[in-house]
Each structure stands twice: as C-alpha cells, then as structure tokens.
Amino acid sequence: MASMREIIFDTETTGFDPRSGDRLVEIGCVELIDRRETGVTFHAYFNPERDMPAAAEAVHGLSIQFLSDKPLFASRVDELLEFLGDAPLIAHNAAFDFGFVNAELARAGRGALDMARMCCTVQMARKLHPGAKHSLDALCTRYGIDRSHRVKHGALLDAELLAHLYIEMTGGRQIGLGLASSAATVSATVAISTPAVPRDSGCPFREPRPHVASAAELARHAEFVAGLNQPLWLDTV
C-alpha cells in the first residue's frame, strides 16, 4: 500500500483580508507520512512590502523592522510549491490560510491551490465537539497537548501543534488497532476494512458451530447445582 503524505500548515499575516491589501508574512509547514510526523518542515518569513498594524503585531510579534530584510514571497514560491507537492493540505480555519496563500500565488503569477485539497480542522472539531470552543488553544487543552511554550502565535509552532491535534482528532496513533475514538469517522481518516471472502475463492466452507447447551449438558448442570452446599444466591431467595 502506498504511503499517504499530508501537509499541516499555518500562516501569519498583516490582517484578515487579502482583498483589502493584507499580506502573508510567515508560513510554517509540517510533513506527515501515514499520519506520523517525519521531522521535515518548511518555514519562511516574508517582507509584506507594507506596514504592520499594531493589532496584528500583538498577535504574532512580527514587526516590520524584523520583516524588512526578509525575502519576498515570489522569491521562495518555487521552493514552497515543491514542498507542498500534490499532498492534501490541513489547516485550522483553512479557508483563511488558503485565501492568503492563493492571493500571494496570484501576485507571483502562479495558479491557485485547488480548494479540493483543503482539510479544515475547525470544521472537523465542530462535528466532533458541537457547542464547544474550537480555537487551537482550546482543542489542545481538550486533547492534552502541551502548548505551554506558545506565548505568541507562530506559523511553524502552530503547525506543529496542529499536527499533534490532527492526529488525535483522526483517531490517535492507535487508529489501526480499533482503539480510536469517534474521531476516526472523520472523512480525513483512512478507513481500514476486511472484505468478505467469496464462497468460490477456494476457501473451505465450515458449518457454524452450535453454541446452545444440549439436553444432556443441561441435565448434568442441574445435577451439579443441586449438589452444592448452601450456595450464596439462596441467601437472596
């Protein structure tokens, strides 16, 4: 069976809407093979060619002074696309991250990422835990994932946390052993099934074994019970 490659990613930006001029300033990607982290990552900061609003800087701590000497997105676009390949792309509130990456790809004269590749862990969480909080912090707490080192948002750090969360939300590391929670029913999970063996496959057919006690066995059991000395269950009669 071929291995399944998936990419968990996160972005940091100057704001909420690329259509109003907000830009991507950081991206962090984590590679999973068969739902296990390989240790292979992609991480980059980008010069947004604009100012950094104070509200955005308060979230991720990236100042325009820090970003001013970083490369433009277009200068690393080939490296990013090569890393992403054709793998499914998982993100928290994925439409937001896809929107910013696709806006930068358009500026660089490249085609957009196919939205069919998108898997959103917020949507997964809403199905698994309706009515609960679905922020990355809240879900890490729910699944017992240590986030004590997360002082501010950071694309690679958040992608690493999300990788742990995604694995847990899709059944944990025991998914193939039948020990997974209901999270294993999420569409992103690989279903493991055993096909029925056809009657003409060459396997010998055996009649099912009887599992009902015979009359002789029942009689022997009654005789045995009658010979017991003051059985405990008679105390309740």
Which residues are the active-site residues?
153
The structure tokens listed for 125 are 């969480």
Q: Is residue 95 within 8 Å of residue 118, measured between CB atoms?
A: yes
**Residue in this structure with the two tokens 């742990």, named with its chain if needed:** 164
Strand segments, DSSP code E, in the chain are 5-13, 24-33, 36-45, 89-91, 118-120
Distances (CA, A) of 186 to 143, 166, 181: 16, 11, 10
Q: Is 127 left (phi over 0), alpha (psi -120 to 50) or beta?
A: alpha
Span between the terminal Cα atoms of the chain, in Å = 61
SS (H, E, C) 65-84: HHHCCCCCHHHHHHHHHHHH
Provide the CB-side half-sphere exposure for 119 (13 A, CA): 20
- Sorted by sequence, the CB contacts under 8 Å of residue 198 that are 6+ apart come out as none
Q: Is residue 2 within 8 Å of residue 33, measured between CB atoms?
A: no
Distance, in Å, from the CA atom of 108 to the CA atom of 126, rounded to the nearest integer, reads 34
